[in-house]
Chains A and B, each alone.
Chain A
């Protein structure tokens, strides 16, 4: 089945540690995205990538980093520079054609302990 997979579903991090969230898709989509969602809030764009080896900062990129070495994969690293990392993180992908919807993963809930 085609889809977009995020792992792990739950992640706990100690303060000062970097953690990497995985996002893999087999939909052959060129564009991939990372969003952050806080309780009772909407989606805020962290980073996005249109093609392999290229990515752009979104609205809240500080404290995060990404890579796009393969079309299928777009991992997100939450660094120690991110002061308030506890949130629900969503990865999405879509084709590069106009007027196409994004497909979302099931999310990773990150908690700093």
Chain B
């Protein structure tokens, strides 16, 4: 079935470096994507979103890139901080009310 997946389950980066988290999706009809951050024992929180008519969107220290040709999303975090340590999920909206979440990538930030 349709799914959203992540290439790397665990990512370890040095504090201050940039982080890149990748995500592949399979539904070419999806038109809206979100990155969520989940800290341990808590619910996911919205980070940034992007519509399919865009290639790039920037927020505060975060950038999402969308490559529709290869159905790939990435989340870039600039100057990674210890507080960025969490699990990051990409989510694909297929239209209607269902959302497909990827398995997540755990980001470790080394001080």
Contacts and interface: CB of A to CB of B under 8 A. Distances in A.
Interface of A: 6, 31, 33, 35, 40-43, 45, 48, 50, 58, 90, 92, 94, 96, 98-99, 101-107, 109
Contacts of A106: 41-43
Nearest to B102: A42
Contact of A42 (B31, B41, B51, B101): B101
Given A42-B104, A90-B43, A106-B43, A101 B34 contact: yes
- State which size class the interface on B falls in: 20 to 34
Given A35-B101, A98-B32, A105-B43, 19 more contacts: A31-B97, A42-B102, A42-B104, A43-B44, A43-B89, A48-B97, A90-B44, A94-B97, A96-B97, A99-B31, A99-B32, A99-B51, A101-B46, A101-B49, A102-B34, A102-B46, A104-B45, A106-B41, A107-B43
Interface of B: 9, 31-32, 34, 36, 41-46, 49, 51, 89, 91, 93, 95, 97-99, 101-104
Contacts of B41: 106-107, 109
A107 B103 contact: no
Contacts of A92: 43
Q: Which of B42, B51, B97, B103 has the most CB of A within 10 A?
A: B97
Q: Enumerate the 7 nearest inter-chain pairs by beta-carbon distance, A residue then B residue, closest first.
A: A104-B43, A42-B103, A43-B101, A101-B46, A99-B32, A42-B101, A104-B44
Contacts of B31: 98-99
15 contacts: A31-B97, A41-B103, A42-B101, A42-B102, A42-B104, A43-B101, A45-B99, A48-B98, A98-B93, A98-B95, A103-B46, A104-B36, A104-B44, A106-B43, A107-B43
A20 to B, nearest CB: 19
A105 B42 CA distance: 8
B35 to A, nearest CB: 10
A102 B43 CA distance: 11
Nearest to A31: B97
